[in-house]
Structure 1
Amino acid sequence: MASPTIQSFEYEEMPTVTASPSRRVQELLALCSSSIEIGGSQDLESLVTDLVNCLNSLSENVASDASDELENDVIQVLAEILKFVSSPQLDQDVIDALSFELPKVISKFADVSSRCLELVEEIVDRFVEACSPRDMLSILCEALDAARCFLSPSSCSTPLLHGLSKVFISVQRRHYEQLKVAVPVVLNALKDISLETDVQVEHLLDEALRIAISIRDVSSKLKNEEGTKVRCLLGLYVIQITAILSVSIRDKVASCVPLVVQLKPFLIYCGLTHLGLITGNDTEKLMSAVAGDDDDDFISFFPDIKLGASLLFIWAKLSPEVADAALRNDVDELRSNPVKRWQAYGMLKYILSSGDLLWEFKRHTIEFLLDITKGPSSQSNDEQIDCSQYTPSIYAALQAVILVIVYAPDAGLRMKTFEALKRILSDIPAPQRFDVLRALVTNSQSPSMTAILLDLVKYNMSRSSLEATDCATADTHVIELVELVLKPPQGGPPLLPDQSDAVSAALNLYRFALIYESRGEAGKERSREGSEVLSKKNLEKAYKEWLMPLRNVLSCSIANLEGDHGDESSLEVVCHLSRIESVLYRCIELVEEKLKSH
């Protein structure tokens, strides 16, 4: 019995040069089956390797010349493989050996045509039905990772994702551990699909939802702690795919509302609320449940979890279909509760700072910020609440707001965003507010934005709600901020006219501080000893190190520009510098006057 089989093997090797791809695949599959009959496990491994090489060669030919003839060859090859693995008489060892290698290689053919995609999906499904779920989970995850390098990960990943959705349900034990390995691989594949220039959002969501449904079905079968963990993992998955889906939208946001509505049942199943999402409390609970004490690195597989949570709230604001009945109450809670409002600022920064989202998302986010900051700020009613732990995230949110002001595509959005900037700053208790303003000015890269921020410092100094205990802090910050502009850390006077906006704002702030500190609040004279701005040391420092050097620079700059006769742009700059010079001389007069009184 063995001799004819071996002879057949040797005989069939010879005509491989001229045999059609489907004929060659048919021969190799037949040899795989017969090798088990003679007990040749090594021959089986060798034959599977030959089969993979044959399929890879065909894939390379298709990639270099996508002709109708080659497409037909691929269809015939895939049909032969499907027919072979579907045979009820096929030995389990053979189908197991093929399952380890074929999913990865045949997925390359999924983008050749819709018929090829169907055949690949059927072959993968057959492997899922016939082979160990645990083995297939590892095999399909490895194939998904490999598909990320293909020219069209969208088509190539589709049958593998479909297969995984079935494997999840078939796994019999250690469900959470298996899912924990597979979900990050799935998310990477979905993210790659979302980055394709011609991605179809509907197709992307279909693949994502199929996986979500499978995870939910697994969770519903588990009643113990493992079931809770699987549910938390599902929550993280849904939030992450919301970010992936939103980034993939290339057209109007409203057109995708019907798609996002399909995520709502999963939020309810996982016990997530819109208020918990926008404050970050729900995401923290999910991450704590999934990560554990020794597995914090797992959270790195969900890099956009906070972006997704924020987007889910914005989607709910966009459409009643996505929202729940409590959304209006959530908005009211954010308006009345300063802590939750501060938490929301920290979450919304992920939308405002994203470079991948449509501007429409940022516009809705700014409008939402204006909505929750209506009415009196928490400063007047909740002064005793400690804001220090939220200050870093609020500062980051303000930086993101500034980015919108700088890069917004229209003036209307810039004006709304500037109003949101003022309201958020007013929402911070005075001591932390000046710390945040100082940090924003210090890290500003734009002279125009620096000028805007210095004007906000002046605005906050003039607020009647600023208590006397905060004035010393404001004094110190004014000195630091003015010096930062008029005597830059890198040395020398400021560059003119490049930094003229910032210089003008700094001089106006210093002039205001001199007058403000002289008069005191409500027109009452304040003690000069209690004012940092009016101290002799700081007045002399300002006079010698800021104002006089700046006067020389301004005089030289104006003189040089006035030499460019007839240059209209030079005349505009001269006019601007002359206005700065006027404010400078007023500051010099005030400082000289105050020095005389010491």
Structure 2
Amino acid sequence: MSEDSADDHRPSSVQQFLNSCSKWIEAGDSHQSENSVSELVKFLETVADAALSDPDNVDAKNNALEVLSEIYGYLCSPSSNQEVIDALSYELPKTVSKFAGVSDRCLDIADSVIDRFVATCSPRDMLSILCEALSKTIKASAYVAPLLSGLSKVILYIQRRHFEQVKVAVPVIVSVLKVISLESEDGDTEIEGLFDRAIVMTFRSVQQEGIVNEKLRALLGLYVLQSMALVSVGISYKTSSCHHLVSQLSSFFPYCNISYYGLITGSDVDKMTNIVRGEDEDDYMSCLSYVKHGASLSVIWGHILDGVAQAAKEDLTAVKDELRSDQTKRWQAVGMLKHIYSFVNLPWDLKKQAIDFLLCITDRNISQNCDDEHMDFSSYIPSLFAALQAIEMVIIYAPDTMLRKHAFDAFKRVLADIPTSQRFDILKALITNCDSSSMIAILIDLVKGEMHMESCKRISMGNTEVQQTGNKECPNTFFWNATVLELVELILRPPKGGPPSLPEHGDALFS
């Protein structure tokens, strides 16, 4: 940088830009006002870029710190005109947030600058300004920290229609966290700080309303679940910082009327969704696409760490016992767990814990209530089928042999928990919708096993007695019927032609 250029970027220059802005804004010249603010923004971006492009340049860093300090000093000066501050508030938050990536000290001052705007300008205007700034810096994790903090603080200044204002902010925040989480790398410490700042917004909303507003409580509950999913993806699950964030998020459950039982069965998620969505607002929920993942993961985190369950004020042992004793609730839990098994970005370690949880709630001989004429099995079949497909993905793609074997054990237990009358249809659908020849061989072996068990049962009980029992007490529960032959033909003579899609070794997935 030349000497003249360096002079242009010294703190004395920023004061000239500020004086120019003040002059034209106070004069009411809108055209000159816009130009002067635009020139100030360009100047600040040049200073920030110089420091960011050369991290080893101490002079550039010091210059950025001094320029930013000048901005903050101007905003805090008693002689500053509020009209000028209002005009600067529309442009400077996004610009000064770039300085956050220069150094920790610059981050602190950038926080202070945005805090000053929040404290002195219209809260509703600042909410819109910060949301817009966040949406434009979504891929720059180092820059969004001051903006996230500003949003969490502006919540305190909003006195009316609190739910509506928070509802505007939530999609912007979760979009930022989603992009940064899915693109983060192991050991990225910046994302931990961002989640800390984002969680503060939940705390301030709780503090502001005292959680008496049902709509706000439901919205914050969904926000917490979305954050839970993103924390699980973005931060290594074995780190203490991840455990700290998960515990923090779990501590909000009592305030939001969320229970582990309601999360793992999905009832709390459905209830909160219906409250927040209202009428004709399906599009809004697209920003909260991971709430069901977060609901299931919240319970799994309680399964992994006792401290997390304690933070949520939950007794997970009682929840597991309840699921073991209630078949329909267990089916609902299986349907929720599928979101973990099919979550591509989720670490395998967490999927392993979710398989372990499924084994825990299916580890006893459970009555299938096949004689209950009033139970509607069919309504659960689509969800159970999708869950079995998700477990298939773990069996096929898990890098660890033991995890694949445990997933297969869980797969068989879920299948055994389905009424016999529906089991064959599900197995047939799994076979016809599977692209893995090894998995097809395993599924065929399960069909064979089911047929063998039924054959043994018929022999032991006698065909006549079996038919009478089946007709009177539990109709259509036996596995064997003519469609088995159709399945065999479908496998041996594929509809698209060619040889059967069968591997040479059926146990290839478990080797």
**The two structures share one fold, judged by TM-score above 0.5:** yes
Identity of aligned residues (%): 46
> Does the C-alpha gap of structure 1 residues 475 and 139 become closer, same or farther in structure 2, counting only changes over 3 Å?
same
Quick check: which has more Rg, 1 or 2?
1
Structure 1: gaps (5+ residues) = 1-14, 503-598
Shift of 1:61: 3.1
Partner of 2:295: 309
Partner of 1:92: 82
Shift of 1:109: 1.4
Shift of 1:251: 5.1
Partner of 1:106: 96
- CA contact under 8 A between 2:420 and 2:478: conserved in structure 1? no
Shift of 1:293: 1.2
- Equivalent position to 1:480, from 478, 486, 491: 486
> Does the C-alpha gap of structure 1 residues 104 and 126 become closer, same or farther in structure 2, counting only changes over 3 Å?
same
Secondary structure of 2:205's match? helix
Coordinate RMSD, CA, aligned: 2.2
Deviation by residue 1:94-140 (Cα, 9 ceiling, x = unmatched): 00110000011111111111111111111000000110000000000
Matches within 5 A, 1:123-522: 123-150=113-140, 153=141, 155-194=142-181, 195-197=183-185, 198-200=187-189, 202-220=192-210, 223=212, 227-250=213-236, 252=238, 256-323=242-309, 324-379=313-368, 384=373, 385-464=375-454, 468=467, 469-470=475-476, 474-494=480-500, 499-501=503-505
**Structure 1, 29-38 or 103-112: larger mean CA deviation:** 29-38
Secondary structure of 1:357's match? coil
> Does the C-alpha gap of structure 1 residues 166 and 492 become closer, same or farther in structure 2, counting only changes over 3 Å?
closer
**Structure 1, 30-39 or 445-454: larger mean CA deviation:** 30-39
- CA contact under 8 A between 1:85 and 1:123: conserved in structure 2? yes
Cα separation, 1, equivalents of 2:387 and 2:224: 24
Deviation by residue 1:20-69 (Cα, 9 ceiling, x = unmatched): 34222110101222234444343222210111122223334334333222
Shift of 1:417: 1.3
Cα separation, 1, equivalents of 2:296 and 2:34: 51
Secondary structure of 2:418's match? coil
Cα separation, 1, equivalents of 2:161 and 2:244: 35
> Which amino acid in the other structure matches residue 481 of structure 1?
L
> Does the C-alpha gap of structure 1 residues 254 and 34 become closer, same or farther in structure 2, counting only changes over 3 Å?
closer
Partner of 1:545: none
Cα separation, 2, equivalents of 1:363 and 1:36: 61
Equivalent pairs counted in the alignment come to 479
> Which amino acid in the other structure matches residue 445 of structure 2?
D
- CA contact under 8 A between 1:243 and 1:307: conserved in structure 2? yes
Cα separation, 2, equivalents of 1:167 and 1:471: 61
Shift of 1:268: 0.3
Partner of 2:461: none
Q: Which has the higher contact order (CA 8 A, sep 6+)?
A: 2
Structure 2: gaps (5+ residues) = 459-465, 468-474, 507-511
> Does the C-alpha gap of structure 1 residues 30 and 379 become closer, same or farther in structure 2, counting only changes over 3 Å?
same
> Does the C-alpha gap of structure 1 residues 501 and 85 become closer, same or farther in structure 2, counting only changes over 3 Å?
same
> Which amino acid in the other structure matches residue 184 of structure 1?
P
Cα separation, 2, equivalents of 1:415 and 1:161: 44
> Does the C-alpha gap of structure 1 residues 134 and 50 become closer, same or farther in structure 2, counting only changes over 3 Å?
same
- CA contact under 8 A between 2:260 and 2:314: conserved in structure 1? no
Cα separation, 2, equivalents of 1:414 and 1:451: 15
TM-score normalized with structure 2 length: 0.88
- CA contact under 8 A between 1:229 and 1:289: conserved in structure 2? yes
> Which amino acid in the other structure matches residue 493 of structure 2?
K
TM-score normalized with structure 1 length: 0.76
Deviation by residue 1:525-576 (Cα, 9 ceiling, x = unmatched): xxxxxxxxxxxxxxxxxxxxxxxxxxxxxxxxxxxxxxxxxxxxxxxxxxxx
Secondary structure of 1:24's match? helix
- Is 1:19 matched up with 2:25? no
Cα separation, 2, equivalents of 1:213 and 1:69: 39
Deviation by residue 1:380-407 (Cα, 9 ceiling, x = unmatched): 5665422211111111110111111112
- CA contact under 8 A between 1:144 and 1:185: conserved in structure 2? yes
